[in-house]
Structure 1
Amino acid sequence: MSSTASSESASGLDSLAVGGDALVGMATLGKTAAALALVIAIILVCTALLRRWNPQKRAAGGHLRVIGSAALGSRERVVIVEVEGTWLVLGVGGGQVSKLHELEAPARPDGEASRPPVEGERFAARFARALKHNAGLGGRGRGDS
């Protein structure tokens, strides 16, 4: 009887050891998953904070402001940038920036100085209006009724 009891006892210890290894493996997997979730949460919080503070608007001490941009190709863009009262029309693409044109920024009324561009307004319409205003054409152009 003692041999049967000892063999049952040995098989019970073996099954406990195998079960213990499985529990340790599951605990390690759980810790790894928790660490990964923590890293992802930190990344999401940092991204939300950066979007809220929007460092792009404060670049170069507030002297640089992107007026608008338009894609010309898959990697080429035309960008209008205002720097200290001057608009620069820049061509951006292929790892380089080229100045295409330079003109004085149009005078803005005091109320409009801090107003961001209208969300639904297209770049082409804003650019055409700015060019008309700068050229002195004012209200009615070819496309206006």
Structure 2
Amino acid sequence: MSNTPSTEASAGLESLAVGGDALMGMATLGKTAAALALVIAIILVCTALLRRWNPQRRAAGGHLQVIGSAALGSRERVVIVEVEGTWLVLGVGGGQVNKLHELAAPARPAGDASHSVPEGERFAARFARALKQNAGLGGTGRRD
């Protein structure tokens, strides 16, 4: 069978159509990737703005500040929170928050916001050790 000009033309058009479909598929894939990149960029920009504004620090009208915290277990934590010049020692775990202790916040020198954090961490470490000892999980008690 010999190739006639009409058969050759139809074969050429068919190969062009297949190539055109592949080209359209690549264009669609490119548009989808660009849209996904745009969405991810918007999420990253919003995250950066939220971190910069730090809405957590402004909770309760700016009167609440987390001084320190320590993990006691997989879900339990001890948190020291300052509210209007008072430190609250809170036990957080199992969907509950319990007030463990309340004391007056120590006076901080002007411009020294980091002074209280090591104190809270020391307390948290001692408290965690005491809890482990009382629960029979080991520990030798006071090491200070």
TM-score of the superposed pair, with normalisation by structure 1: 0.76
Distance 1:20 1:78 in 2: 64
Stretches of structure 2 lacking an aligned partner (at least 5 in a row): 125-142
Aligned positions, number: 124
How far the C-alpha of 1:59 sits from its partner, in A, is 1.3
Q: Please identify runs of 4+ aligned residues in structure 1 that moved more than 4 A.
A: none
Stretches of structure 1 lacking an aligned partner (at least 5 in a row): 129-141
TM-score of the superposed pair, with normalisation by structure 2: 0.77
Distance 1:85 1:122 in 2: 16
Is 2:83 the partner of 1:83?
A: yes
Partner of 2:58: 58
Deviations, residues 113-133 of structure 1 (Å, cap 9, x unaligned) = xx34599x58534x48xxxxx
Partner of 2:14: 14
Deviations, residues 16-54 of structure 1 (Å, cap 9, x unaligned) = 111111111111111000001111111111111111111
Partner of 1:24: 24
Partner of 1:137: none
Query: How has the CA–CA distance of structure 1 residues 108 and 118 changed in structure 2, closer, same or farther, with 3 Å as cutoff?
Result: closer
Distance 1:118 1:5 in 2: 90
Partner of 1:33: 33
AA matched with 1:96: Q
